[in-house]
Amino acid sequence: MTRERVRVTAGAGRPGAPTRGIALPGAPVDDAEAAYARALRRSQLRLAVGTLLGFVTVTLVLLGALTLIPELDDIVLLGVPLSWLLHAFGFYPVIAGFAILYVRGANRNERRWRALRDEGA
Amino acid sequence: MNALLDLVAVAAVVGATVLIGAYGLRVSRTTSDFFVASRTVRPVWNASAISGEYLSAGTFLGLSGLVLLSGAEGFWFPIGYAAGYLLVLLFVAAPLRRSGAYTIPDFIEARLESRFARRVTSAGCLLIGWLYIVPQLHGAGITLQVVADIPPWVGAVLVAVLVAAAAAAGGMRAITYVQAFQYWLKLTALLVPAVLIVFAVNGGAPDIDPRVVFPAEAGPSGLDAYAAGSLLLALLFGTMGLPHVLVRFYTSPTGGSARRTTVLVIVMVSVFYAVSSVIGLLARVVAPDLARPGVADTVALVLPARVFPGIIGELLTALVVAGAFAAFLATSAGLTVSLAGVISQDVFSGSVRSFRLSAAVVALVPLVIALLTAPAGLVASVGIVFVFAASALSPVLLLSIWWSRLTARGAVAGMVTGAAACGVAFLVHAAVGGVGLAAPLLAQPAAWTIPLATVVTVVVSLTDRAGAPVSTGAYLARLHTPGRG
């Protein structure tokens, strides 16, 4: 960031390029940096939506198994039908699993962004 | 039931809350201490506090009651609550932590540069928070009535006064420690009886017929697809719109730690829900006679004495009562602190003194509502809150984090549409019951109100000639990029 500023100041001092380096209010200070930030936001959104779709798919499969396989009602463990046990306890490991997968992916995206930014600076 | 023992348990929880709150008061010094605990709370403590605050009367008493009353469909509530945190993690946790704002209205104002959008958001937060505190106060009333035959208003007043005092005294810092303690208390209070009763039931009375206690038509296969889907949608998206859930992310030191905290929260609330589901299953075995509306919510309190006559049952009941009180206190305290933050910054100057005044005002309004209304099913009342949050606040919150073309006008239109659609659906449903094909749409409106609010927000934003604020790009970059270092 500091290095960029030095270059811009020098550019503004040269005749023939008087408007270079004047920042409009709200305009991104550094195009490359803004592009990296946008890319990071997109990849995080892709990751989040992908994780959500994965979670919904697994949930629907589990739900389908519960509603479409009547045999699950007949298997009884500790006095409770397996279908009830799966409904009561089966979804939490799925939720936690997708949460852990997402955090790994999100951290990886941020590491990539850091590497890009440090390369560009 | 031993009323004296149960009242001692309530007194012990109240005493511990006051003591830990007083410790928090000693370390709360500045305005920022009051609002967000100075962002120095460690992930494990923060996750315990978030879980402690999230597990309300609705899950502590209501879940087992609902499983007893209507069977496996009751399991959808805790699954939805836990999955709601997954959506918070995916879309909200880290960006909101990086926003640097104290409350959701703060965030909306900073993002959209509009005082008006802020005011509408604040009104939404207040409405949702108040609707959520009312069932907590009802739960406190029911509990004292069941265990000690005390009129219900006493429990409601007790919780409201305590919460207002604790919040006014110590702000978020004190509340963080109180709630972390209350998570572990709530877990213990259900886990110990659950384990003991499982052993007792499996050792003593194997003469139950699973087909009678767990009939297939009340099981997972007897599912109403629209109702379950719409409910799940509301629970999934509602969590991020609850005012006391978001304010917690401001207490994590960085965006990355906010994410780690959220994963811990998902694990912690899941463990609690699993234990609570065990109680629900046991209730069907041990106390099928309590499967009546209005009475079912008390089954977790009654269960231990049914299985263990004598002193062991009485001690276990006292433990459950203590946990239930921790649930009412924790959720209403968390809501009171975040709502007081909203009011003190919107109406007053945002100082520590105005925060204290706001805490009193915030606790008084739901107390009046609770005293004027009769308790409905705890889970159903909490479910309505989630539908409201999911329709009014969540679409706008998601779009403000991820969509650069959102405008203040679009956000306001979306919030008003979402809230109005839910309000009309619930009022019409309450007034006329069901209108043929429209009945399920009115009873569980989330499946159409959430898309409606989202579409209105997007369309109004796109046709808004003023356009998005010029600093949107820079602000979004700040939300989504980790800090330097």
Instruction: Please report which helix (H) or strand (E) contains residue A81, including its range.
Output: strand A80-81
The pLDDT of residue B377: 66
- Residues A29-48 have a mean pLDDT of 81
Complete domains list, chain B, with CATH = 3-386 (1.20.1730.10)
CB B130, CB B366: distance < 8 Å: yes
- pLDDT (tens digit, 9 = 90+) per residue, B38-74? 456 677 888 888 888 888 777 888 888 888 888 888 8
Residue of B nearest to A68 (CA): B221
Residue of A nearest to B268 (CA): A96
Contacts of B198 in chain A (CB under 8 A): 78
Contacts of A48 in chain B (CB under 8 A): 90-91
- Taking the Cβ of residue A92 and every Cβ of chain B, the question of whether any pair is shorter than 8 Å is answered with yes
Which of B219, B273, B474 shows the shortest C-beta gap to A92?
Answer: B273
Q: What is the dihedral of CA B84, B247, A48, A39, to 10 degrees?
A: 170
Q: For residue B373, give how far its alpha carbon lies from the nearest alpha carbon of chain A (Å).
A: 32
Contacts of A55 in chain B (CB under 8 A): 83, 86
Which of B259, B262, B474 shows the shortest C-beta gap to A28?
Answer: B474
Indicate which of B70, B79, B237 best probes the interface with A, i.e. most A CBs within 10 Å of its own CB.
Answer: B79
Residue A30 confidence class, pLDDT cut points 50, 70, 90: low
- Tell me the CA distances in angstroms from B367 to A19, B133, B155, B194, B333, one per residue in order: 62, 8, 11, 32, 13
Residue A12 confidence class, pLDDT cut points 50, 70, 90: very low
User: Among B301, B351, B309, which Cα is nearest to B327's?
Assistant: B301
The pLDDT of residue B86: 92
Q: Would the pLDDT of A102 be above 90?
A: yes
pLDDT top residue among A94 and B140: A94
Instruction: Please report which helix (H) or strand (E) contains residue A80, including its range.
Output: strand A80-81
Q: Do B221 and A89 touch (CB under 8 A)?
A: no
The pLDDT of residue B454: 92
Residue of A nearest to B198 (CA): A78
The pLDDT of residue B349: 67
Residue of A nearest to B274 (CA): A89
Contacts of B274 in chain A (CB under 8 A): 88-89, 92
Indicate which of A49, A60, A84 best probes the interface with B, i.e. most B CBs within 10 Å of its own CB.
Answer: A84
Q: Do A78 and B202 touch (CB under 8 A)?
A: yes
pLDDT top residue among B174 and A95: A95
Which three-class secondary structure state does DSSP give residue A76? strand
The pLDDT of residue A17: 41
Q: Do A84 and B280 touch (CB under 8 A)?
A: no
Chain pair A-B, CB pairs under 8 angstroms: 140
- pLDDT (tens digit, 9 = 90+) per residue, A47-93? 999 999 999 999 888 888 888 777 777 777 777 788 888 888 989 99
CB B97, CB B250: distance < 8 Å: yes
Q: Give Cβ neighbours of residue B302 (< 8 Å, ≥ 6 apart).
A: B146, B287, B290, B317
Amino acid at B99: S
Q: For residue B107, give how far its alpha carbon lies from the nearest alpha carbon of chain A (Å).
A: 18
Q: Do B72 and A67 touch (CB under 8 A)?
A: no
Instruction: Please report which helix (H) or strand (E) contains residue B296, including its range.
Output: none
Q: For chain A, what's the residue count? A: 121
Q: Domain-by-domain residue ranges, chain A? A: 31-120
Going from the first residue of chain B to its last (485 residues), give the mean pLDDT of each consecutive group of 10, the final group possibly shorter. 78 79 60 52 80 81 84 86 90 84 84 89 89 85 81 84 77 67 88 86 64 68 76 88 76 80 92 91 82 77 82 85 83 82 76 79 85 73 87 92 89 93 83 67 83 92 83 82 64
Which pTM does this prediction carry?
0.85
The pLDDT of residue A11: 38
